[in-house]
Amino acid sequence: MKTRLLLIALLLFICLSAYSQTKHYDYKREINGVKEQWHKIVLPNDIFGKISADFSDIRILGITPSNDTIEAPYFIEVSDEKISQKDVAYNLLNESKNESGYFFTFEIPTKTPINRIELNFNEQNFDWRLTLEGGQNQQEWFTIIEDYRILSINNDLTNFRFTKLTFPDSKYRYYRVLIKSKVKPELTSAVISLDAFTNGNYNKIIISNTKIQKQNKETVIDLNLKALVPICYVKIQIKNGFDYYRPITIQYLTDSVKTEQGWKYHYNTLETGTVNSFEKNEFRFASTILKNLRVIIDNEDNKPLEIDSIIVKGYKYELIARFSESAKYYLAYGNKNVYAPSYDITRFADKIPKPLISLELGEEQFTKKEAKQKVKPLFQNRIWLWVIMAVIIGILGWFSYNMIKTKD
């Protein structure tokens, strides 16, 4: 029985020792300015290359005046954009024409403002200019947008349609669309809505190097970022003043292998779409931690576009933390062997007071893990090892002899 208890105690000691090693992290930063129970901490860009991809190894650790180690709970909040669309009911009152073109009049029976109208036509290929007007009656009209271009291209190579009218919030009883066309457009339907868009809170990412290659009917743009950072937004600004429409692919470098023919690079696709002269050429995608970005523009048989600039952004990541005890706190990170923490506060995020004061982080400090230290042999000389083994064998033999003697 005693032997079993000793074995259990030994196993518990080993497990606890292993667990205590997981509490050591490669890096830490002192957290300054803790005064309230709730605070937020904005994660700096240079931290993302040193933490796990799922953010599981981030901890807020504190040292109390009595030298105890405590852990402050937190959850991660991403300042992404918020998009909502509220469709508004309407009545299509009439369709008419004069020497200017064709008119379509919509009535909004409610007092709801609108800021977007999407028109759907039966035609597959068209290029029209239009004017949008609003009024409280059908005698006096006020211009909302004019000389607005809508376009549709549908062939074996391209399927592109741009028929969305966006404008500042407007509240009229009637809206009239004038399409300047010699042939009557076949309007099949329209979607009238009030769209609400709240911009995300972004970090503008520093691009350390840009390389542009124009070959094989493609423009390939390689962007090297200063560090591994989360990216979710790319905007491409074009110099050309003429109309254009080109397929685009946005990729990021995942791996590289050296072969006899040189380095081979492997990329994953983040987003596909088009760059065109009708929209802002902004591309949003799932936030991804990366350092090397590649943009490929398919020019087909056209002259390559002149790239003015490329803007890269990533969401700001904030830790919302609760500090319940007086201590000297640190942000610790850099341990691939730990699991993501599970805190109660994630279930009560709606009860956290706002606004929160942002805390400042100190300089990054590198800390060696105990697990990385080389363990020296207990006995440098093998003679001592043989001596100890002989003693153990002798003790075991003595116990065995006594047990046999007792049975006799």
Delimit the domains of the chain by residue range.
23-79+317-372, 84-198, 202-315
Q: What is the pLDDT of the chain when averaged over all its residues? A: 87
In 3D space, the residue among 127, 120, 129, 135 whose CA is nearest the CA of residue 101 turns out to be 129
pLDDT surpasses 90 at 20: no
Name which CATH class applies to 84-198. Answer: mainly beta
Better-scored residue on pLDDT, 160 or 211 = 211
The model carries a pTM of 0.75
The tens digit of pLDDT for each residue in 28-69 reads 999 999 999 999 999 999 999 999 888 999 999 999 999 999
Q: What is the 3-state secondary structure (H, E, C) of the chain?
A: CHHHHHHHHHHHHHHHHHHHHCCCCCEEEEEECCCCCEEEEECCHHHCCCCCCCCCCCEEEEECCCCCEEECCEEEEECCCEEEEEECCCEEEEEEEECCEEEEEEECCCCCCEEEEEEEECCCCEEEEEEEEEECCCCCCEEEEEEEEEEEEECCCCEEEECEEEEEEECCCEEEEEEECCCCCCEEEEEEEEEEEECCCEEECCEEEEEEEEECCEEEEEEEEEEEEEEEEEEEEECCCCCCEEEEEEEEEEEEEEECCEEEEEEEEEEEEEEECCCCCEEEEEEEEEEEEEEEEECCCCCCCCEEEEEEEEECEEEEEECCCCCEEEEEECCCCCCCCCCHHHHHHHHCCCCCCECEECCCEECCCHHHCCCCCCCCCHHHHHHHHHHHHHHHHHHHHHHHHHHC
Q: Considering the domain 202-315, what is its CATH architecture? A: Sandwich (2.60)
The CA distance from 336 to 273, in Å, is 36
Predicted confidence at residue 154, as pLDDT, reads 87
pLDDT in tens, 370-380: 544 555 555 55
Q: Is there a shared CATH topology between the 84-198 domain and the 202-315 domain? A: yes
pLDDT single digits (tens) 83-120: 889 999 999 998 999 999 999 999 999 989 999 999 99
